[in-house]
């Protein structure tokens, strides 16, 4: 890992659930310095005034271009939405800033295209659908299990403010399972939905179900059915602090990468 003393970080989406948690983490973290924040509809304020938290240095920029042209930045951490996340990531690449992207909604094709630009510049970065270690382990275990249990269904459960469905984590889990799972349409060959959507989304014949309820944070269950047996893998994020170990680790690690990594599992030992 880099021996550079302090990593200068910018957070996009600072008023959001994840952005504000990230700022609280950076404020306490060794070796990270919050130099600015990017927040549409806000410009020129101090971060401490924007968030009403004393002791936070740095100013707020309405867009990434202004931020990166005015500040010396090592790492961008983005928790916004797919449109803003893509714009911020592109600006980060243009300015040679290392992206740590938690925002969901990136396709494999988009990841490949950003990676190719970053390879040309030898720029390190990560897009991680989930920064919680337990969630990443469930993805890895699901990849292992799918080889032996091609009949599987994913149920992801989230708070009711979440805008995208299915979750980025569910998609990444399905993509990893696809590497080992024989392609198969599940359920009865002649099954029919009497209520459209009852069987969930179709991913290579495997079903993904999205639950949205107040009280939930971020949860995922992967069910594998075999002859006379059922294997259930489940992870629960009960607090957004669960993502912060991964965000901190990724922010440190991208300083030593020279390509774009997709998924936290690719930088864990």
Closest CA to 103 of 90, 118, 84: 84
Question: H or E segment at 76?
Answer: strand 75-78
Q: Is 36 helix (H, G, I), strand (E, B) or coil?
A: strand
Closest CA to 177 of 144, 208, 129: 144
CA 35 to chain centre: 22
Among residues 158, 209, 219, 252, which one is catalytic? 158
Contacts for 164 with CB less than 8 Å, ≥ 6 apart: 82, 104, 105
Of 216 and 223, which CB lies nearer to ligand LZUJQKHR in the complex structure? Answer: 216
130 is in an annotated binding site: yes
Length of the chain: 269
Among residues 40, 121, 122, 162, which one is catalytic? 162
> Which residue in 19, 168, 246, 263 binds ligand LZUJQKHR (CB under 6 A)?
168
> Which residue in 81, 117, 180, 259 binds ligand NDP (CB under 6 A)?
81
> Which residue in 8, 42, 162, 212 binds ligand LZUJQKHR (CB under 6 A)?
162
- Out of ligand NDP, ligand LZUJQKHR, none, what residue 158 binds, judged by CB under 5 to 8 A for its kind, is ligand LZUJQKHR
**Alpha-carbon distance 91 to 117, whole Å?**
12
Closest CA to 26 of 71, 74, 77, 68: 77
Of 7 and 18, which CB lies nearer to ligand NDP in the complex structure? Answer: 18
Question: H or E segment at 142?
Answer: helix 133-146
Contact call for residue 104 and ligand LZUJQKHR (CB under 6 A): yes
Tally the C-alpha atoms within 13 A of residue 236's C-alpha that lie toward its C-beta. 3
> Which residue in 64, 167, 242, 253 binds ligand LZUJQKHR (CB under 6 A)?
167
Contacts for 197 with CB less than 8 Å, ≥ 6 apart: none
Q: Tell me if residue 42 is catalytic.
A: no
Of the ranges 17-25, 107-115, 145-153, 228-236, which one interacts with ligand NDP (CB under 6 A)? 17-25
**Alpha-carbon distance 240 to 254, whole Å?**
22
> Which residue in 56, 136, 208, 218 binds ligand LZUJQKHR (CB under 6 A)?
218
- Out of ligand NDP, ligand LZUJQKHR, none, what residue 128 binds, judged by CB under 5 to 8 A for its kind, is ligand NDP
Of the ranges 81-89, 165-173, 185-193, 247-255, which one interacts with ligand LZUJQKHR (CB under 6 A)? 165-173
Closest CA to 206 of 224, 230, 228, 232: 224
Q: Tell me if residue 158 is catalytic.
A: yes
- Extract the annotated binding site for (S)-2,3,4,5-tetrahydrodipicolinate: 159, 168-169
Binding site for ligand LZUJQKHR (CB under 6 A): 104, 129-130, 158, 162, 167-169, 218
């Amino acid at each position: 890992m880099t021996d550079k003393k302090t990593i200068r970080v910018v957070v996009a989406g600072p008023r959001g659930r994840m952005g504000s948690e990230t700022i609280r983490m950076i404020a306490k973290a060794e070796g990270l310095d919050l130099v600015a924040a990017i927040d549409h509809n806000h410009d020129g304020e101090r971060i401490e005034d924007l968030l009403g938290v004393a002791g936070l240095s740095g100013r707020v920029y309405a867009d990434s271009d202004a931020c990166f042209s005015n500040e010396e930045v090592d790492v961008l951490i983005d928790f916004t939405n797919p449109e803003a996340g893509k714009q911020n990531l592109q600006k980060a690449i243009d300015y040679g800033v290392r992206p740590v992207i938690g925002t969901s909604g990136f396709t494999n094709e988009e990841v490949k295209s950003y990676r190719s630009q970053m390879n040309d510049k030898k720029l390190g970065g990560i897009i991680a659908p989930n920064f919680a270690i337990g969630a990443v382990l469930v993805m890895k275990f699901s990849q292992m299990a799918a080889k032996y249990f091609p009949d599987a269904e994913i149920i992801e459960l989230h708070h009711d403010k979440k805008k995208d469905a299915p979750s980025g984590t569910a998609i990444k889990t399905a993509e990893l399972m696809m590497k080992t799972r024989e392609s198969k349409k599940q359920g009865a060959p002649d099954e029919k939905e009497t209520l459209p959507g009852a069987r969930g989304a179709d991913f290579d014949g495997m079903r993904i179900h999205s639950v949205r309820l107040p009280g939930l944070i971020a949860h995922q269950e992967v069910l594998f059915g075999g002859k006379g047996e059922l294997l259930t893998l489940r992870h629960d994020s009960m607090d957004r602090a669960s993502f912060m170990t991964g965000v901190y680790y990724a922010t440190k690690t991208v300083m030593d990468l020279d390509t774009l990594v997709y998924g936290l599992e690719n930088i864990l030992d």
